[in-house]
Homo-oligomer: A and B are copies of this chain.
Amino acid sequence: MANNPDVASMNAVEGALSAIAFRANEVAFHQGDRADHWYEVASGVVRTCRFLVDGHRHLTGFYFPGDVIGTSAERFPASAEAVTPCTLISHPRNETAALSIPSERALESAERYVALLGHRSATERIAAFILQISRRPTLGDRVPLPMSRSDIADHLGLTIHTISRTLTDLARRRVVVPDGRFHLRILDRDALNTLACEPEAVTSMKASTPILKGL
């Protein structure tokens, strides 16, 4: 329902584009579905989910306006659900160009993600998460956080309790404070960067696990 002609015309290069609106928590597509379309977020926020047999849910990512979903494989490796009411533009999957580059990017971000989940504390994960969101264009120090604690928890591999406690602690330390119901305000970006200490890969090194033990 509620098509959005403005949005649809934004990218109307070919004829077959269509904009689809979703209510919060509606499912845009399911994991395993044939990916004969890919999607661009026009408005709202989307999450991609995988459900594991042990009952856990794993959110592989959040997608904001301008982001694209479902370009990397022949079938969707995760389902997509609306975090907020949102509009998606669906693109038929015939332009072959859209294939390899996003795939590499997906792999790259997967690797960064692995590093994040590997051995990092709750504070580090949350700091990195906030910074990641804050880094998208046109955003200043006011970071949207439209997803629930449970969504964040399932994305970072933590519990809602730890999320809550850590955010309270960051607020007490005046690093990021709540700003309205669905936003955070970054007060001390340097501190946040230090906390996150992004584990970017370096090209060469001899050290093993212990941090600069005997060096």
What 1/0 flags go to A142-167 for Cβ under 8 Å of B? 00000000100110010110000000
Q: Would you mind naming 13 contact pairs between A and B with Cβ atoms under 8 Å apart?
A: A31-B203, A51-B201, A51-B202, A51-B203, A53-B199, A72-B104, A72-B107, A73-B104, A77-B111, A78-B111, A79-B204, A110-B110, A119-B157
Interface status of A207 (Cβ within 8 A of chain B): yes
**Which one of A56-64, A133-141, A171-179, A183-191 contacts B?**
A56-64
- Given known pairs A118-B157, A211-B55, the reply for A103 and B111 (CB within 8 Å) is no
Interface status of A1 (Cβ within 8 A of chain B): no
Contacts of A12 in B (CB 8 A): none
Q: Which A residues, 198 to 215, have Cβ-Cβ distances below 8 Å to chain B?
A: 198-205, 207-212
Number of this chain's copies in the assembly equals 2
Interface residues on A, range: 35 or more
Which A residues are within 8 Å of any B CB, using their own CB?
30-32, 50-58, 60, 72-74, 77-79, 99-100, 103-104, 106-108, 110-111, 113-115, 117-119, 150, 153-154, 157, 159-160, 197-205, 207-212
**Chain B residue with Cβ nearest A201:** B50
Q: How distant is the Cα of A198 from the Cα of B113 in the complex, in angstroms?
A: 20
